[in-house]
Amino acid sequence: MAVTATNMAVIVGVLGVISFILGILAETKKPAAGTPITGKGVVICKYPSSPTIALGYLSFLFLVATTIVGYFSLFYPYKGKSIPNSLLFKSTTFTVFFNIAVFTTGLGATFLLWPTISEQHLLSHNVHNDLDTTCPTAKTGVLGGGAFASLDAALFWMVALMLAINAREDILEDIGQESVKDDHGDVVTNYI
């Protein structure tokens, strides 16, 4: 079966939705706080069992997979016809949406990793010398924000893919009518 832009868009969308769902589950399963147990000059925080850390990391991994497939799909030579990447970036709309997809991916990764790593740190360093500690957990709402940013990133990768396909068609159509040159003055027809 040949790889098509539709297949790639579906894969990007499915991976993005999985990342979103895992991020939302990580947020909803996160405990509000731990139980402080007072000892001799220390407080030990006992936290309930929670899949938040595993779900947070899985959500991040699916965001990475979404990004890899999304990026690869933009420059894949569909129907065996490739064009120089520099010609794609001559399209202002494509360039804008490509950069938005990269930024949103970074934002989603930050919002997923920051509370997940914070939660893991709090669970592993649960002995405190401060007797007034309330046994906090990672900041509430950040994982959920990361989940929505992951979904947005997947959508922006799909929009960038649609714009790349349109730009490819325009470039290949121009090649049929006249020779198109890349940034170095080379004729593009030798890339097909």
Q: What is the pLDDT along the chain (192 residues), one digit of tens a residue?
A: 578 888 999 999 999 999 999 999 999 999 888 888 888 888 888 888 999 999 999 999 999 999 999 999 998 888 777 788 888 888 899 999 999 999 999 999 999 999 999 999 988 988 888 787 888 888 889 999 999 999 999 999 999 999 999 888 888 777 665 445 555 555 554 444
Residue 55's Cβ-count burial label (10 Å; 0-12, 13-18, 19+) is: buried
Assess contact for 130 and 108: CB atoms under 8 A.
Answer: no
Assess contact for 101 and 74: CB atoms under 8 A.
Answer: no
For residues 42 and 70, what is the distance between their CA atoms, to the nearest angstrom? 49
**pLDDT score, position 52:** 93
Q: What share of the chain is helix, strand, coil (3-state, %, to 5)?
A: 65, 5, 25
**pLDDT score, position 167:** 87
Q: Which residues contact 139 (CB under 8 A, 6 or more apart)?
A: 115, 118
**pLDDT score, position 190:** 44
Q: Is 87 in a helix, a strand, or coil?
A: helix
Sheet holding 35-38, edge to edge: 35-38, 43-46, 127-128
Q: Which residues contact 102 (CB under 8 A, 6 or more apart)?
A: none
For residues 151 and 131, what is the distance between their CA atoms, to the nearest angstrom? 41
**pLDDT score, position 178:** 47
Quote the DSSP letter at residue 140: T
49, amino acid identity: S
